[in-house]
Amino acid sequence: MTDERKALMLPLGILVGSGRRLRNEILSGIVIGCLVVGCATSPADQAAATKAWAERDAERQRECATRNGKWVAGACLFGSGA
């Protein structure tokens, strides 16, 4: 293989052959971004978010009960498994 062809294939190999590496870099960026946002949230905002989620879960639990379901681990279950 000529040097010119190797030089052309190297960038393509990096782009095409490194799907796993690219995926890992993207996921790492997402995780780091989420951690930074979480750390930047004030304790008051965190408490407000926790309260809002609890109120939302309580509302969904009430809705589940009105449909004769059983609220388990954040899901409304119906039937014999409930």
Does residue 15 sit within a domain?
yes
Which structural domain, as residue segments, surrounds residue 69?
Answer: 43-73
Contact (Cβ atoms closer than 8 angstroms) between residue 76 and residue 60:
yes
List phi, psi (to 5°) of 40: -80, -10
Model pLDDT for residues 9-56, shown as the tens digit of each residue: 545 445 444 567 777 888 888 888 877 776 777 888 889 999 999 999
Domain co-membership, 51 together with 33: no
Q: How confident is the model over 47-69, as a mean pLDDT?
A: 92
Does residue 81 sit within a domain?
no
Q: pTM of this prediction?
A: 0.46
Band (71; pLDDT cuts 50, 70, 90): confident
Does residue 78 sit within a domain?
no
The number of folded domains in the chain is: 2
Detail the DSSP E strand segments found in the chain: 70-72, 75-77
